Structure 1
């Protein structure tokens, strides 16, 4: 029987593995190290930026579970498991929560199945699919088994959209939102060059050289992805400014190249 790892291409950097390397993980290859080092030379703040993106996910997940009563989550573009993962955050609040993780990298698949274990009261599952094919996500047996579309869902699209090029970007987000009932929420982070245009622009060029083209969006474009939804305060802001906790570390705006927001589907 073939393993997901048989599909790994160790000759090409992958965004999830570069992210893992820069955040101090161990599930990456030399090509990912070289790409990550090149990106950090262009912008030494990249690890701070990536860490704050992850912390936004923790705060948004906890907010939805604790303050909005969301008990089922769809996490698209999961990336490699890095504790705490989304199910650990939300099941700490509500152990009965269900989380469906989605990614298309075989290393993520192997590690997710091994490590993303639910609390006894709740459930987790992993879907091997691409955001470019939303029907494969929505029609998956895992999604149908764990997500009740008669109840609100927390859709998490964290650190993904800058790898989805227009004009498909908004259409794909809407396709994932369309079947979710009223009272569901979208939590999303979106890359920008608004605060350090030269440095972040060079990082984007490096991603493109590594065959990972990306698009960086300004504030009006970012905000447009939430059209028709009810933004939760403070609206669209840099991720480190979205409902920071009392223990939030001091972070400079120019070290963060990601907008984030949470919004309710009416």
Structure 2
């Protein structure tokens, strides 16, 4: 009867020593665990890696010269914005991301018809790929019990890696060579697609967990690139000394992106620091 009791006592003694061994180790040699260990006088932190995919819409804003509203119109439509990201989560406090972004440009104008010339439309379209680099920080915790719902703010930039079509620059044509108006000397239309190798962004996102590994986010971004990145210019010169017309319409520097992201997290890697 005494022998089994002695074995049980020896087993529990060894287990307690094994649990305390990690606690008394030098912190530089203590292991990183996948499971949190609630030990006295220790502060735990974790890191995770994650991948995600986003679908969003980009709303651009255009500027135009005075009087253009009587000459024509510029149509501002929503453009697609797709992202694939990989990231590093430091204790749900700091987030570092990169990946790939695909965005579309669609810039079109319509000139109203007059007795001197018929109405017509022009446009430019391109699809571009950017390499984003983003840093975000948690600023508001919405669930202090689980810490799984919060608001992040961040800054980032995107670097152009591919564009289709590849050509950038300025293209000018004289529309009057086609319409042959007897009232016009020239009707120049200039389309300009500047090269913008980088954009900047500010980010706000609301994040919540569906499961421990699966998260969903709603985000808003302000995107900034060079002014007049896309533009149309019109110059109408009349015969008989009539005053010429000159107008310009262009995409403003800032645009707004809003969308949703799904994210899958790796397991958590815990590390510890003494509170003493």
Give the TM bin, normalised by the shorter chain.
under 0.3
**When the two structures are superposed, what TM-score results if normalisation uses the length of structure 2?**
0.21
Higher relative contact order (CA 8 A, sep 6+): 2
Which structure shows the higher strand fraction? 2
Looking at CA atoms only, which structure, 1 or 2, has the larger radius of gyration?
2
Structure (1/2) with the larger helix percentage: 1
